[in-house]
A and B are shown apart, each in its own frame.
Chain A
Amino acid sequence: GDSVTQMEGPVTLSEEAFLTINCTYTATGYPSLFWYVQYPGEGLQLLLKATKADDKGSNKGFEATYRKETTSFHLEKGSVQVSDSAVYFCALKNQGGKLIFGQGTELSVKP
């Protein structure tokens, strides 16, 4: 079945470090891909999305590129801040319209 796999956390970085959170997927057809962020004590918020191959989603300094050849959608940010500390979820929307989530990656940014 369709699935999403993320790198395991927690990921701990110093402020201004470069961030990569890996995400790969398995799905039939051409799913849409998403990154959601969950700040402490809150629900999930959509961070960025990409709906077709080679699309790049971006928001708040975060970027991810839909790579069909490697079935990946890695999240990157050039310089993280303490306020980026959160749990990040990669997700796909499959042909049936179902949203399928990865297990989440906790990011902790230290000053």
Chain B
Amino acid sequence: DVKVTQSSRYLVKRTGEKVFLECVQDMDHENMFWYRQDPGLGLRLIYFSYDVKMKEKGDIPEGYSVSREKKERFSLILESASTNQTSMYLCASRSTGNTNYGYTFGSGTRLTVV
């Protein structure tokens, strides 16, 4: 089974802190994605990466950045956390060769910014 692992299930951070959310996948997938999930809004795409060292802005990139130094790892960075970034963050990956398939998601990181 493809596995996408997010390092933390729950995080509590203070306003202004720099926050790193880590995501690792073990199936050599080229594409990786970061979404945030908020009630009534579904999932919204923050950033994605088609391959190592590549990154593209999604629909709501403001306040976030990403890093993809290795194929298996895709990090989401909140440069200066704010309370409106309190949310559930979901990482996903997909193989380029299987584009008609859905994505494989991690279990999510619930971030609270106080």
What is the minimal beta-carbon distance from A99 to any residue of chain B, in angstroms?
6
Is B103 in contact with A99, judged by CB distance below 8 angstroms?
yes
Does the CB pair B42–A34 fall under 8 Å?
Answer: no
Whether the Cβ atoms of A101 and B108 lie closer than 8 Å is no
B70-114 to A contact mask, C-beta < 8 Å, 1/0: 000000000000000000001010000001111111111000000
Chain A 29-70 interface residues, beta-carbon cutoff 8 Å to B: 32, 34, 36, 41-46, 49, 51
Given contacts A43-B107, A49-B102, A97-B99, A103 and B42 within 8 Å (CB-CB): yes
B45 within 8 A of A: yes
* CB atoms of B108 and A43 under 8 A apart: yes
Q: Tally A residues with Cβ within 8 Å of B.
A: 22
Look across to chain A and name the residue whose beta carbon is closest to the beta carbon of B48: A98
Chain B residue with Cβ nearest A44:
B105
Q: A102-B42, A103-B41 are in contact. Are A32 and B100 (CB under 8 A)?
A: yes
Point out the residues of chain A lying under 8 angstroms from B37, CB to CB. 104
Query: B102–A46 contact, CB under 8 A?
Result: yes
A43 to B70, CA, bound (A): 23
Further 14 A-B residue pairs, CB within 8 A, beyond A42-B107, A98-B45: A43-B90, A43-B107, A44-B90, A46-B103, A51-B100, A89-B42, A89-B43, A91-B102, A93-B99, A93-B100, A97-B99, A101-B42, A102-B42, A104-B42
The 5 A-B residue pairs with the shortest CB-CB distance, nearest first, are A46-B102, A43-B105, A103-B42, A101-B42, A101-B43
A-B CB contact pairs (8 Å), 21 listed: A4-B42, A32-B100, A36-B105, A41-B107, A42-B107, A42-B108, A43-B6, A43-B105, A43-B107, A44-B92, A46-B103, A49-B100, A49-B101, A49-B102, A89-B43, A98-B45, A99-B102, A101-B43, A102-B42, A103-B42, A104-B37
